[in-house]
């Protein structure tokens, strides 16, 4: 891509990756049809579709709508071909145990942004009656019947909360999740399941209660938009300059990131489902920003923010509290002229007048997107190798940015 070209125009935000994946896993719980509208055509979704098909589901795309028919689930083993491609494959533990009483899957893969242990998932499912063993990086799980339990999470893990919900929907009795994750994606999973007949209360709070039901029903569901994709495009405009509008933006879910953008000097105008941003001529520094579980500033936007702050006036600090491996992008940004010092989980950024385009390499999904953000605001040409990571979460980021006037090519 050739940087230094301000972005102008309007985009429509794609469906949410982090909501789609657990919802696709949840479709296994119903012996019938689930239709999901506004489903993003991204690599992680395509891999999840392959897992559903391996299990015995009939799956059909029609535009951005995905139909899943899950009457005949005969295979409860997830192959390493697809299971190791993404972290979210572990979410099938809850749905397969809930529906079939057994599951075999490889230890999950995905981006290399930290350890992200799954002990919270496994301990919680064991409390609900699952027997789980690990052998040669494969998980073997079975149960006579999942049973309701009172579970208190020591950390509000999104994935563990989702797995417990999936296991509890068809379980015998009632399940309480204390210190549950409050992310919008949790609320979206619960909304999907409730429309199918699940009995769930408290989503969006730290205590979620699920009363098991015998069966679910057919449903159609319109998936919410992706708050991280929306944030990425706003960060892109901050880096490149210009003025953009995002339609179908999940404004109510983006309070923390919009506050950060305004603190950096962005002029913002928000409507119910629309955000307009005008970038400042010079980006203001941020004294300190820390990532936190929702409703705090999202870790999935930390790398993009870091890329923008490389050109801010003065010294900024970012504290990463979620994933210890989020700073893999730093050596690549330094190649472009960024001045960044890492101390434990803190990044100190000394703003420079200009970044310079060069060849850099993506190591994970959000870091790859952040390199695009940096390249848009750099002088000269930036080439991103290993860009396949970016396809895991963005339908066509090159197309979208070209529509805003960026000089970017993808292959």
Q: Which residues are catalytic?
A: 111
Cβ neighbourhood burial of 226 (10 Å; 0-12, 13-18, 19+)? buried
CA pair distance 255, 244, nearest whole angstrom:
18
CA pair distance 53, 339, nearest whole angstrom:
47
DSSP 197-212: T-EEE-TTSSEEEEE-
Looking at residue 371, the DSSP 8-state letter turns out to be H
Reduced 3-state DSSP string for 140-195: EEECCCCECCEEECCCCCHHHHHHHHHHHCCCECEEEEECCCCCHHHHHHHHHHHH
CA pair distance 2, 357, nearest whole angstrom:
8
Give the burial string for 157-188 (b: 16+ CB within 10 Å, else e): bbbbbbbbbbbbbbbeeebbbeebbbbbbbbb
Q: Characterize the bridge pairing of strands 339-343 and 346-350.
A: antiparallel
Cβ neighbours of residue 119 closer than 8 Å, sequence gap 6 or more: none
Opening angle at CA 262, ends 258 and 266, nearest 5: 110
Contacts 24+ apart (CB under 8 A), 332-341: 332/360, 332/361, 332/363, 332/367, 332/371, 333/306, 333/307, 333/360, 333/371, 333/374, 335/359, 335/360, 336/310, 336/360, 336/374, 336/375, 336/378, 336/382, 338/310, 338/374, 339/310, 340/306, 340/310
Q: Characterize the bridge pairing of strands 346-350 and 315-319.
A: antiparallel
């Amino acid at each position: 891509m050739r940087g230094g070209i301000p972005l102008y125009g309007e985009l429509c935000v794609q469906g949410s990756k982090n909501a789609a994946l657990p919802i696709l896993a949840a479709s296994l719980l119903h012996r019938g049809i689930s239709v999901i509208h506004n489903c993003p055509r991204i690599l992680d979704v395509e891999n999840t579709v392959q897992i559903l098909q391996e299990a015995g589901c009939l799956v059909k795309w029609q535009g951005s709508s995905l139909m899943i028919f899950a009457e005949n689930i005969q295979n409860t083993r997830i192959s390493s071909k697809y299971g190791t491609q993404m972290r979210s494959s572990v979410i099938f533990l809850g749905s397969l145990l809930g529906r079939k009483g057994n599951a075999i899957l490889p230890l999950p893969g995905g981006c290399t942004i930290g350890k992200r242990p799954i002990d919270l998932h496994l301990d919680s499912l064991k409390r609900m009656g699952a027997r789980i063993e690990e052998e040669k990086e494969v998980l073997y799980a079975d149960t006579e019947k999942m049973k309701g339990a009172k579970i208190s999470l020591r950390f509000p893990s999104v994935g563990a909360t989702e797995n417990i919900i999936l296991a509890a929907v068809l379980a015998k009795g009632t399940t309480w999740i204390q210190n549950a994750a409050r992310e919008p994606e949790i609320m979206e999973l619960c909304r999907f399941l409730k429309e199918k007949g699940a009995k769930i209360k408290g989503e969006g709070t730290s205590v979620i209660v699920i009363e098991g039901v015998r069966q679910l029903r057919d449903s159609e569901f319109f998936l919410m938009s992706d708050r991280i994709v929306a944030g990425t495009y706003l960060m892109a405009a901050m880096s490149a300059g210009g003025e953009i509008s995002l339609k179908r933006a999940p404004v109510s879910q983006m309070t923390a990131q919009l506050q950060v953008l305004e603190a950096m000097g962005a002029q913002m105008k928000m409507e119910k489902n629309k955000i307009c941003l005008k970038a400042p001529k010079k980006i203001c520094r941020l004294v300190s920003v820390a990532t936190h579980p929702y409703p705090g500033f999202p870790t999935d936007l930390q790398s993009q923010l870091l890329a923008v702050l490389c050109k801010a006036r003065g010294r900024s600090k970012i504290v990463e509290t979620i994933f210890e491996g989020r700073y893999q992008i730093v050596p690549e940004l330094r190649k472009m002229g960024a001045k960044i010092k890492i101390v434990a989980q803190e990044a100190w950024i000394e703003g420079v007048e200009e970044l310079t385009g060069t060849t850099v390499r993506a190591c994970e999904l959000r870091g790859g997107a952040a390199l695009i953000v940096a390249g848009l605001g750099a002088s000269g040409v930036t080439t991103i190798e290993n860009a396949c990571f970016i396809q895991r979460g963005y339908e066509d980021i090159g197309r979208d940015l070209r529509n805003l006037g960026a000089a970017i090519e993808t292959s």
